[in-house]
Amino acid sequence: MQTEKPVRREIEKLLSEVELPRLALVEQEVETPPALTNIRKAVREALGSVELPTGTVAIGVGSRGVARVGEITAALVEALKEAGASPFIVPAMGSHGASTAEGQAEVLAHLGVSEEKVGCPVRATMEAVEIGRTPSGVKVYMDRHAHEADAVVVVNRVKPHTAFRGEVESGPSKMLAIGLGKQRGAHSIHAAGWGEIHRTIPEAARVAVETGKVAFALATLENADEEPCRVVAIPAERLAEEEAPLLEEAKRNLPRLPFGELDVLVVDEIGKNISGDGADPNVTGRYPTPYASGGPSVERMVFLDLTEETGGNANGVGLSDVISSRLERKMDRSATYMNALTSTVPDTVRIPMVMESDRDAIAAALIMCAGVEPPEARLVRIRNTLSLRRMWVSEALLGEVEADPRLRVVEPPRPLRFDEDGALI
């Protein structure tokens, strides 16, 4: 019987002998709408299509990556105040922020949504009020502060979801159904089943609208560079009709990897600020449920680190095959597991194979690609799934790069560089 240390030394020796492919820096040209240059003006113009409420107005703001959300929210607050309203912010992020009021307020502050930055109070609570049920009997909840306000407005980005397909996916309807419902509401919707969620979300959003509390939604669309390119205000009564076309537009703007099949995909960092699943499955092709598809076919995937903004929440880590010990050490298991308990998807938080260094993690993925010599592997390295303008690609992919007019080599192939601890430079 072998002891742990001899086996570990064998693994270290095995991995150290793996010859890694050389990588070239490649730039991808993406046709995409231009970014908005004046956020305040864009918000003001969008608000011209809706009636601004008066009295107390709860503005729901979430935790997902909405570019320039602080500026967008500040412009909305300013307009509401001018209309005679008394706005305040409520976190609309389900169980995120470790499912605590303090944690959710901290998430918003980190995103630039604080009283000092947007000009109105932030009122955080995990208390939720049941406001009704969907036709199939699913309970729908609303943040207590929002429910007690005279009106509710939600601010959210419209984009493809990472775990299901429907007429509406991530956007205002989902924020009304899940985000504003806090942990109880989020779990209620998810527990109804991922095979039904494409129907449950719009039905639950309709329940919220029928309370008469919801005034409108302020929806943003982003371009391939994750910059706001359009802001749209949707009256509550027209949410079902107007959100679906925005989703189709958002799908056209989504940046993607330019390769259909990869042996190894290396992602430098994952986090909730990048995607609900750490790394966007719409980019990686790895989905947490069978109810969504698309993207490349990836044999082995490597995650190397967590973003600072994710606060230790490593949801999505289970979609990879190998991670670094650095990423594992940064995991806050409570925050990570709460995400899975709420979404009812444990696969996203399972711990994959852990390797001591970045080099070992990449080497391990390479030798687990059956029938492929490591130096000849089709490997791509990206910073994260939001940063796809530039990527590092192995020599085995350069033929496809040369044949694609959207791609150009910025730097020729060279060996990967690591520091003395085996971390990528």
Domains annotated on the chain, with CATH: 7-30+256-415 (no CATH), 39-253 (3.40.50.11440)
The confidence score (pLDDT) of residue 340 equals 92
- Identify the segments of the chain with pLDDT beneath 70: 1-4
CA distances (Å), origin 356, targets 11, 40, 361, 364: 11, 47, 7, 11
Q: pLDDT by residue (tens digit) across 4-58? A: 577 889 999 999 999 999 999 999 998 899 999 999 999 999 999 999 999 999 9
Sign of CA dihedral 14, 23, 296, 268: positive
The confidence score (pLDDT) of residue 59 equals 98
The confidence score (pLDDT) of residue 210 equals 97
d(CA 358, CA 77): 45
d(CA 202, CA 145): 22
Structure tokens at 213: 């509390």
The confidence score (pLDDT) of residue 1 equals 46
d(CA 152, CA 165): 27
What is the three-class DSSP state of 147? helix
d(CA 263, CA 260): 10
Q: Which of 218, 93, 104 is nearest to 153 (CA)?
A: 218
The confidence score (pLDDT) of residue 4 equals 59
d(CA 368, CA 298): 12
Sequence-separated (6 or more) residues with CB below 8 Å from residue 275: 65, 162, 281, 316, 385, 386
Looking at residue 10, the DSSP 8-state letter turns out to be H
The confidence score (pLDDT) of residue 388 equals 95
Q: pLDDT by residue (tens digit) across 181-209? A: 999 999 999 999 999 999 999 999 999 99
The confidence score (pLDDT) of residue 166 equals 96
Contact 181, 142 (CB under 8 A): yes
In the block, tokens 């990423």 appear at: 327
d(CA 147, CA 58): 8
d(CA 124, CA 182): 10
Q: Which of 418, 420, 413, 397 is nearest to 22 (CA)?
A: 413
Q: Which of 35, 14, 2 is nearest to 228 (CA)?
A: 35
The confidence score (pLDDT) of residue 241 equals 94
d(CA 36, CA 253): 14
The confidence score (pLDDT) of residue 3 equals 52
Sequence-separated (6 or more) residues with CB below 8 Å from residue 276: 64, 162, 170, 315, 316
d(CA 52, CA 83): 7
Rounded to 5°, the CA angle 176-274-298 comes to 115
Looking at residue 34, the DSSP 8-state letter turns out to be P
The confidence score (pLDDT) of residue 5 equals 72
d(CA 329, CA 351): 12
Contact 208, 140 (CB under 8 A): yes
Measured torsion, CA atoms of residues 28, 305, 324, 407, in degrees rounded to the nearest 10: 0
Helices 358-367 and 4-16, axial angle in degrees (round to 10): 80
